[in-house]
Structure 1
């Protein structure tokens, strides 16, 4: 009981004021003091222990300690202790006192202050007591540095230099541990980081990594180095001072879980924006193998940190081959595949892995590993993913590395790379991060040669350039003209297209530089350069039709050629020329409507997304595109009219699938100029009728009706018809001088001659007529008025189902009027419906009364009004819906007229097809008649 009462009795160290007084006194007078025989401790030791275990640990204790001015005497005490003869500490074993626990708290750091005091302390104090005092004081300081205001105060008071001095002078692991922990806490602020670097702490911390084996000490040192790597400049400084190699060597040592975690966290920070020094040291320190092993560590933090370190290392080409040999390719690829899975992480976590995998494609040895591990499928999946569009340029540039890997190219083509590349040409590209020269392929490492000395491989390269004509002589190429020696060198001459890919993925910065044989013929290499290079490689295959002569691929190439912001790359033009000159591609151009697309897009200026709303283009560009289109079509014409082409087209038209036969019939007028060939295939063997019968079916191409209208127009211009009916004039009929009217004299008050007959309409209107003239004009009226019918004896003959307007042209026609203008009366103006109108009634009556001449006159007047300059496309549909063959021919003649705009012609065909509906027979016959130049009613060849 007495012992418990004694333990509960308050002691002087329970007072913060007492502890601060002891601390101040020791800082000012020395570290000695009378030892308390009861506790075997000096008053300073008791005060420091109480501060460490009670006052600092209490809630708000650090703030109270700082507010009461405790940092100033604490730092002064540390200066005195560090200057109290370091020699004993250098030799001592330096084990940490058992009563003091080492903790790793987080916090920032102070700035340089005045140099430590040189006053020596009492030499009567034994080293153990001095060591314990330093341990306690450093532990208190490290705890205080977890609070922001304390970090600023310590920096202001010069605590950083004091800690650096202790690191330098006191070589004991416990002291090093606590000093490093304090520096690590201070380094959590950028200002303190700069001061710690300037104070020379980094070499001392690096030295501690190799001088001590205590795990707690190493963890504190590693954490301090990690916090000191807060900026690219500081990371580079740490790597250049050799901080990475000892960390890598520790990683390769027998594992300690806590130490391993600290190491991977530090290496992750040091490898951000990985410098060459960092990569070299990590590789030389044997860290690649352990990092690959840690990529499967059970602890998530260790595992993810190791994977990100490997990804960061890929930025340095010199380490990528060794990284692949250690198994890094499979690790990074597997992790990216997992993150892109259904339960994977978001795009932000995938970005460093995508970059790493793309960089791994720059060395042949890693490309082989990546290909075998399913990397090609992963890269194609990235290109297909619209959410990964920001990475698409990087992925395409990575795929250039497989340019001469035939097996990989075949696999990429099978996976659908070509249309994806074509889409990259005209789509919105993401911003690609620039890579430095260190990321270049290590298949072609830099050559560091002494001044004025040429390496053998450089001499070989120069000889090759001269032999190939890229350099006139040795003086054109010198090792002095290298990026290291010339700040702004002129662009070097580039090898031909095949040689450009010898080092295909040096870096996007290098790839995008202008390439060409000379400045006069310089070929720009834009962001579309990698995609065009791959497409060019595919186009050089023996039969590239299956991949490149398809709708998506051709649309991508043509969109790039016609819509590139600047002059398009000549490589794109060479690809198109190469495809159109390849006989193996002829059938593909026909079946995929590629030839029609070339004509529409380049010659006529109508792209799929320009239809039906046309987008204007500058006249200069239209002229350039027209010349290109005509050249490409001429290439196809040469192929089509060769013996091989004739056989291929004949087989396609006669034995192909229904879709291919229609495509062949549509394409022939564009690529065939030999009359014997197109007449035989289109006219004699039914190609034209096959095309016309497909107009009302579902369109196999977005521009099918546009293609068809243009094809029919081209064929119409090729045919020399035996009879060429004159097209209806562009002016309305009422502007022509009218012929004399023979019926109007019967309508006056004193008709001459007097009518001997009246026709009674349903409306009650009586129309005068001459019996003889009416009988002579029509077999119907001859039988009605001069035969045995009762109407032959009647003076008032009823005419049923006839309105006055419809009867008006009939009366004029019965009395001999031809072209007097009476036929215009029942015809409504353009824009009004014809079905159910008086014009349709007049046409029906003319047929009922057997007046073919009047039918023709009415149809001619209808065509002039509704298909003339004032007519609309809707009027054309109304005309066709009347269902009269001659009107259908008028419509077809209007569509195929030589003066029509191509776009308006196509829109008219669309209107006619919609108006014809399922009854496409009259429209087909009308177009056959117009194209082949036969009269309406004549027999058209089947």
Structure 2
């Protein structure tokens, strides 16, 4: 078959020449395009179907200068068609907005006559426009062409054509060209400035062709490239027609284009966007499309619903349309282990939290399992950036008793306590338009009212507590001002007559009288504000002990109070005061070691993280000590009331083993009446119970720290006159040594001459006086003056005795008392005592029946290893020697009134480790020192 004969239109040069001539820029310029329609039409058709679509065709067309005559042709055609003409396939054109902005056609010869079969000039012009616009739209798919069109001023002619020519095909191609140009921010701004948006919006309502509508929708979507442009589109009414088309369109392709456009327009959703989308009936279709079979449509619809939640005015209607259940279900699906990534959950988390600001949506969210979902977010460490937003959302349930009960059962309180000192999330602050829409007509000029306050006011009015919004000041809000909390909560049981419960002077809040507005200074409202507000609400329950008087909750509150960079919120202090003033919480404070924790953290300045290794933290302020003493005084008032005495007695006598130990440990902190603590700790065996528990597995990480502090406090109660100085049994100053009576025997000319030598295992011979040695102890009297063979020997062997251990023995035998010989056998502090010459000397002193030497050696051990300024690590070493007097020395060093709390606790740890399974000696030593008894028999008499 022969090849097709080449035609003139196969040449790009020919087509460009025809285009240039028709545009009035070539040799044939000035002619009316209608007179040369057939060559121009063929050239335009060839450009569109062959040259532009060929590989690299758009680039060649732009490089050969084709865009300039193409745009000039569009200007001429637009100007020629700007006059009214009979309607073609579309609506009648509207007049040009600004004739000055449109170049007039070049003058030329009069148009030639046309036969009746030739199309009318407007029809030919529109065909020319159709082809030229198609070529331009295709060229604008490349960035270089878009920049060239913008440089040549090609945007304004397109806007003119969009305004003048209402034919669907031309509107379609013009919108497509504008949409392609809008892919660059510079062109997008010029299109907005040229006034194209109202014309595109008009096309949405006037056009019936699906392809044309898709091009217009795409152009609007591309024009929404920035927050300013999205706001401009919404303010010019671009959203409502899209929503109406979405509600009426059965075309799947158009539906897909509509949801994509609405997704772009709803980013950072403005008030105008939300209003128009709601008025256009788009909420219901969007909710339905959340289950669309096509993933792209489904995803876009869900994200649009999430974006709409940023506007409070549309959230109630969104909830009525089923949006709450849709968003919760999608977030639950993405939270699934096999679901989407955490980043994709962020808009849904924000939307669900915003839905909590209206009462009607809170009810739907609660019924749909939203509380469990929000609690799951709070427990997830991967969602830590959203935790502050979630906690703020839960504030909306502040006055929903059912929801609060459910949240408490799900474990909200410890999570809130953990949030008090957590790091802030990455969420941005919501604007005023996101506030609750429960009371949209009431707005203060200074600041937007908090959503939870509107909910409270709504509830007060509905329940009849307030006649109208005017009865409650809009300047008062639970999110910014303290709640009217009583300084003394109602007690479930009567307190002791005349007992006063202390509250901080700075914690008092104004009382509400009748319906007068509350005039109170605003409290600090940082990121911890929502968590503190919810905790304060929980603390106002008749018995908040089960949730708040627990170790996690107390640790969170105390960590916030002591670790806040500035003054802590008075609400946190009121929570602690309210809990300690509530008799229903007394047993919980005892069981959870809460009183001991308050004393350790606030009064002594030792937090759980500081034990056993201290951490670098700011210097403890005196306010913390004052607060701790006040809280313990509140617990003392409760403990010494008839109700408290009964509760403590029941715990100590009938509680579980763990509760009995906790009660015995806590009593010295909260009982000041001698009759009460003596009866509970001594008569009813509380002290013995505590001492016995020291060598058992610790029921609390800080148990030994608490126990050391408790025993020290009890010792102060038993002996209040003891001054905070070191115990007298451990001398603080070294006395001058006495004259040595043994050294004269060691010289070359001893006076008097020794009549005896002791032979050690090492072969060393030590001189001695027989008479002095025999009179020193019954052992040596029997050995040297009795019927033993040694009585007739001048060289008496002493077995199992090293030279260092024998040195203090021989000094003592010859009458030395305090000459310093005992100190020479002592190892230095930090060196082990077990296996040392000091232990050997002590054992030999006992074996040789030298009690005075034992006392001297024990005093030397205490002087060197139990120095008041020494470390606690030596206490256990000394106790391991197994000497009763040294054990008492160790306990007195540990429980001394002036001892550092940390050293005291570390010393008790060493004592417990040294005692091991043989806890009897340690128990008796502690009992004797605490009670001030000197003999073991007195200590044993306290055993019950």
- Which bin holds the TM-score, normalised by the shorter protein? 0.7 to 0.9
Specify the SS of the correspondent of 2:863: helix
**1:792-840 Cα deviation digits (max 9, x unpaired):** 3444332211223322322333344433333223222222221111111
Aligned partners of 1:587, 1:115: CA distance in 2, in Å? 89
Specify the SS of the correspondent of 2:758: strand
Aligned partners of 2:34, 2:744: CA distance in 1, in Å? 150
Alignment map for 1:425-436 (pairs within 5 Å): 425-436=420-431
Query: What residue in structure 2 maps to residue 497 of structure 1?
Result: 483
Specify the SS of the correspondent of 2:759: strand
Specify the SS of the correspondent of 1:315: coil
Query: What residue in structure 1 maps to residue 588 of structure 2?
Result: 588
Query: What residue in structure 1 maps to residue 728 of structure 2?
Result: 727
Q: Quick check: 646-655 or 353-362, which moved more?
A: 646-655
Q: Cα distance, 1:673 vs. partner? A: 0.6
Specify the SS of the correspondent of 2:300: helix
Query: What residue in structure 2 maps to residue 38 of structure 1?
Result: none
* 1:546/1:475 CA distance change after superposition, 3 Å: closer
Aligned partners of 1:866, 1:129: CA distance in 2, in Å? 114
Query: What residue in structure 2 maps to residue 937 of structure 1?
Result: 936
Query: What residue in structure 1 maps to residue 892 of structure 2?
Result: 893
Aligned residues of 1:321 and 1:366 also touching (Cα < 8 A): yes
Query: What residue in structure 1 maps to residue 717 of structure 2?
Result: 718
Aligned partners of 2:639, 2:915: CA distance in 1, in Å? 34
Aligned residues of 2:377 and 2:383 also touching (Cα < 8 A): yes
Query: What residue in structure 1 maps to residue 491 of structure 2?
Result: none
Aligned residues of 2:828 and 2:864 also touching (Cα < 8 A): yes
Q: Cα distance, 1:755 vs. partner? A: 5.0
Q: Cα distance, 1:232 vs. partner? A: 1.0
Aligned partners of 1:187, 1:747: CA distance in 2, in Å? 111
Aligned partners of 1:493, 1:334: CA distance in 2, in Å? 30
Q: Any unmatched runs of 5+ in structure 1?
A: 36-40, 96-111, 451-456, 466-473, 483-489, 501-514
Aligned residues of 2:709 and 2:901 also touching (Cα < 8 A): yes
Aligned residues of 1:358 and 1:395 also touching (Cα < 8 A): yes
The partner residue of 1:115 within 82, 89, 102 is 102
**1:905-935 Cα deviation digits (max 9, x unpaired):** 1222222223333333222221111111122
Query: What residue in structure 1 maps to residue 315 of structure 2?
Result: 320
Query: What residue in structure 1 maps to residue 786 of structure 2?
Result: 787
* 1:90/1:195 CA distance change after superposition, 3 Å: farther
Q: Cα distance, 1:180 vs. partner? A: 0.8
Specify the SS of the correspondent of 2:882: coil
Alignment map for 1:308-707 (pairs within 5 Å): 308-447=303-442, 496-497=482-483, 521-615=521-615, 622-707=621-706
Query: What residue in structure 2 maps to residue 259 of structure 1?
Result: 254
Specify the SS of the correspondent of 1:42: helix
* 1:499/1:402 CA distance change after superposition, 3 Å: farther
**1:371-394 Cα deviation digits (max 9, x unpaired):** 111211111121122222211111
Matched, 1:54 2:37: no
Aligned partners of 1:599, 1:181: CA distance in 2, in Å? 75
**1:275-304 Cα deviation digits (max 9, x unpaired):** 101100000000000000111111111111
Aligned partners of 1:144, 1:157: CA distance in 2, in Å? 14
Q: Cα distance, 1:255 vs. partner? A: 1.7
* 1:629/1:34 CA distance change after superposition, 3 Å: closer
Aligned partners of 1:295, 1:795: CA distance in 2, in Å? 111
Aligned residues of 2:129 and 2:170 also touching (Cα < 8 A): yes
Aligned residues of 1:27 and 1:73 also touching (Cα < 8 A): yes
Aligned partners of 2:187, 2:904: CA distance in 1, in Å? 77
Alignment map for 1:70-85 (pairs within 5 Å): 70-85=66-81
**1:430-481 Cα deviation digits (max 9, x unpaired):** 233111111000112134899xxxxxx99x99xx99xxxxxxxx9999x9xx
Aligned partners of 1:26, 1:869: CA distance in 2, in Å? 109
* 1:736/1:113 CA distance change after superposition, 3 Å: farther
Q: Cα distance, 1:781 vs. partner? A: 2.7
Specify the SS of the correspondent of 1:435: coil
The partner residue of 2:152 within 135, 157, 161 is 157
**1:732-779 Cα deviation digits (max 9, x unpaired):** 6xx313345554555566666665544333233444444454444333
Alignment map for 1:766-777 (pairs within 5 Å): 766-777=765-776
Query: What residue in structure 1 maps to residue 903 of structure 2?
Result: 904
* 1:299/1:933 CA distance change after superposition, 3 Å: same
* 1:781/1:163 CA distance change after superposition, 3 Å: same
Specify the SS of the correspondent of 2:23: helix
Aligned residue pairs total 874
Aligned residues of 1:830 and 1:866 also touching (Cα < 8 A): yes
Q: Quick check: 134-143 or 694-703, which moved more?
A: 694-703
Query: What residue in structure 2 maps to residue 99 of structure 1?
Result: none
Query: What residue in structure 1 maps to residue 856 of structure 2?
Result: 857
Aligned residues of 1:90 and 1:171 also touching (Cα < 8 A): no
Q: Quick check: 517-526 or 419-428, which moved more?
A: 517-526
Aligned residues of 1:187 and 1:196 also touching (Cα < 8 A): yes
Aligned residues of 1:403 and 1:537 also touching (Cα < 8 A): yes
Specify the SS of the correspondent of 1:759: strand
**1:874-917 Cα deviation digits (max 9, x unpaired):** 33222111121211111001111122112221222222223333
State the TM-score, normalizing by the size of structure 2.
0.87
Aligned Cα RMSD in Å?
3.2
Query: What residue in structure 2 maps to residue 878 of structure 1?
Result: 877
Query: What residue in structure 2 maps to residue 281 of structure 1?
Result: 276
**1:188-208 Cα deviation digits (max 9, x unpaired):** 111111111111111111111
**1:694-750 Cα deviation digits (max 9, x unpaired):** 223333333222211111111111113999996234436xx3133455545555666
Query: What residue in structure 2 maps to residue 471 of structure 1?
Result: none
Q: Any unmatched runs of 5+ in structure 2?
A: 25-29, 92-98, 446-452, 462-469, 487-508, 511-516
Aligned residues of 1:89 and 1:171 also touching (Cα < 8 A): no
Aligned partners of 2:485, 2:833: CA distance in 1, in Å? 69
Aligned partners of 1:290, 1:436: CA distance in 2, in Å? 27
The partner residue of 1:272 within 259, 267, 280 is 267
* 1:407/1:198 CA distance change after superposition, 3 Å: same
Alignment map for 1:2-17 (pairs within 5 Å): 5=2, 8-17=4-13
Q: Cα distance, 1:368 vs. partner? A: 1.1
Q: Quick check: 652-661 or 717-726, which moved more?
A: 717-726
